[in-house]
Structure 1
């Protein structure tokens, strides 16, 4: 992989996940602090699925057939940045009045339409330009983890800037930062908890502007005739593909939303300050580094079926730890399993589906996987998670034990029914990286000037 391609795809992932790293790790705690009920929280998370309803049938079709991916990413992230900025204002208004919840629903839905489809588009862009996805994808995707981590740390340091400055002044008074940072912070507005959305907006605008430097990724020159989503749906004729996507959706319902909704409040119940929850959650993101770097080796040695199964086992183990109210050392272990849980499930699923379809359908196929797992599975899972939290918030062994038992059943079904290919490597004739023209100059908004 050439350095000119590697740094651009790496920075793309860095900003893509930096946006959610500043928002998603803190959002559950913030919603609790402004008195949004657990049921309302589940509704806000469920409405984010709207973006996945739009993705496979509009965005994927456009990216695969009509418009270059980098232009679509630029427009989407600019709209997403505007939405996050206004969402911060709306959250503060709700905190004061407790009377505009519907506006929060609309703004979260609009952000979902703008942002959520970009995640599979970024994956599809990487698969399009990487000549060896098995060996190269993890090396660029790992920078998404770095972006998520730095976004969370940056948010916590910003919200707790007084404590950070006090620590610097006491422990390292001679450091240049000990004198420079206080002067800088005095010129900036005082931190507010809703700044998680404002920082996400800044990163969204930065990514929108950066898209003019991304490798040109035009639509396939010779579409195969069908509307892209309809062609991808034909893949369901293969019972293995259909069953695999169904199992992926079921896992999304059972385990992912509950982790996002229940673990941050669980940490505050155990004595972690709300503003430091994003930093504690970094334990999970740090574990993605070895998981991503070892993914290619694991696929070669164990095969994709065993790697996917290990991801399910990791979810079972971490939820059993949470259910048992184990000591802090075990909680840290459960958080550190995040890399195996995420990489061995989500990324293997993306690679599997990408290997099953032709090059002019890859963006749509990735969006369809997101639609089924997150567009259908995530809202159902958030509603289930909201019900579990309302019903069992005082009995953790039920709150986390029920999904752990369900995941055991899914693992058994997966292992004894799914026939997986021995390898997910692309054939030798895989599409080479497209030649790249000189980037277009940016418009005043940071979006490429070419008509969309």
Structure 2
């Protein structure tokens, strides 16, 4: 790959995930403190990610794959996103905020597939080259978190003073930059003729539903949906939790999770080879339980190491389950249904699973909120800990071990 193209793609990935990490991590804190949102309302806001994931295949399948170059629609969506993000910045109540965050996520979620498509189109050997590009996305997410904390927007007095809304302005600017920059990216023309018929089944990956006839894949598929319920608790509550209990620079500390994601991504092939798919996946599920127990019993004082360890487990939680799951899905799908199968799993997890998870997390958080708007965090974190452990036990009992080749 030419150095110019490598630089372009790396900057694209950096900005793509800087944009996501620059507002989504602190969203729960902002909603609770600045818009006085309830747990149910926070769940609605976070669920926009799921609605975006459900709608995204239609945008990719009906527009990007058939009519417009991927880099052009990436630019258009990020310019639209910049405007919507600015409107979120100016909103003063939840009712005014929600329509903009919903529209924004519908625009943003398709861009996750588009940046991958643009990258793969320039690669001769994606299995070796993609990780070197994708890692800049993780760096972008980390830099966003560090920036928010070291500027001090997530400090308790700054949050109470409304400074956290500046994250939306920062991301609006970054989104506008990526929107303009996208038009300079290497050309990625549509892969499907606009005259070729395409069905909803093609778009949503429903052709891969035949894989569910396989007993092992069915239990993996159900486990993937169920594990997203405890996952939603982390996305929705982790930053408000750390902020409320007095943890300094909470957003920067949460970036430790992305650092561990890079480390455990490198260790994944070793685990996969030595322990196999089933044990690797179970390790990912068990890590969710351990993480939430650490959150339940840790504090911002002498036991703060427990909270930091819980954050650092993100690499195992995410890589060992979700990345392993993508590899397993790829191995089961075969050449004909590879893309369809990955689309089906994405729809099930980030769509259906997370949608249920955010709803449940919002309900439980509201139930365990004190009259002064503080929370019974120990009890809140016990729910996803127990649920994740139950999913792991069910998976262990019903999924029969099988050999899966790690080819990346």
- TM-score band (shorter)? 0.7 to 0.9
8 Å Cα contact 1:316-1:407 kept in structure 2: yes
**2:396 is the counterpart of 1:399:** no
Deviation per CA, 1:409-435: give whole Å up to 9, x if none.
222333442666622538xxxxxxxxx
Q: TM-score, normalised by structure 2?
A: 0.83
- Counterpart selection for 2:307 from 316, 331, 352: 331
| Aligned mate of 1:248, from 211, 214, 224 | 224
Q: Residues 283 and 344 of structure 1: is their aligned pair in 2 closer, same or farther, counting only changes over 3 Å?
A: same
Tell me the TM-score normalised to structure 1 length: 0.76
Aligned partner of 1:340 in structure 2 is 316
Residue matched to 1:11 = 11
Matched, 1:217 2:188: yes
Alpha-carbon distance between aligned partners in 2 of 1:301 and 1:129, rounded to the nearest angstrom? 33
Shift of 1:109: 0.8
* Whole-angstrom CA distance in 2 between matches of 1:161 and 1:304: 39
Q: What is the correspondence of 1:296-445 to structure 2 with a 5 Å cutoff?
A: 296-325=269-298, 327-353=303-329, 356=333, 358=335, 362=339, 366-393=342-369, 394-415=375-396, 416-417=398-399, 422-425=404-407
RCO higher in structure (CA 8 A, sep ≥6): 1
Alignment of 1:91-240 (within 5 A): 93-94=92-93, 101-127=94-120, 129-159=122-152, 192-220=163-191, 227=198, 229-231=200-202, 232-239=205-212, 240=214
- Two-structure CA RMSD over aligned residues (Å): 3.1
SS at the partner of 1:117? Answer: helix
Do 1:138 and 1:293's aligned partners in 2 also have CA atoms closer than 8 Å? no
Counterpart Cα distance in 1 of 2:129 and 2:116:
12
Q: What does the per-residue CA deviation read over 1:66-96, in whole Å, with 9 as the maximum and x for residues that have no partner?
A: 4332222111111111110111001xx22xx
- How many residues end up aligned between the 2 structures? 387
The 1:131–1:300 alpha-carbon spacing in structure 2 relative to 1, beyond 3 Å, is: farther
Alignment partner, residue 77 of structure 1: 78
* Segment drifting more, 293-302 vs 206-215: 293-302
What runs of 5+ residues in structure 1 fail to find an aligned partner?
95-100, 163-189, 427-452
Distance 1:132 1:323, change over 3 A: farther
Structure 1 residues 233-292: Cα deviation after superposition (integer angstroms, max 9, x where no partner) = 12111124454333222211x22221122222221233225xx22112122122122123
The match for 1:67 is 68
- Counterpart CA distance in 2 for 1:135 and 1:298 is 19
Alpha-carbon distance between aligned partners in 2 of 1:258 and 1:191, rounded to the nearest angstrom: 24
Contact preservation (8 Å) 1:134, 1:424: no
Max Rg structure: 1
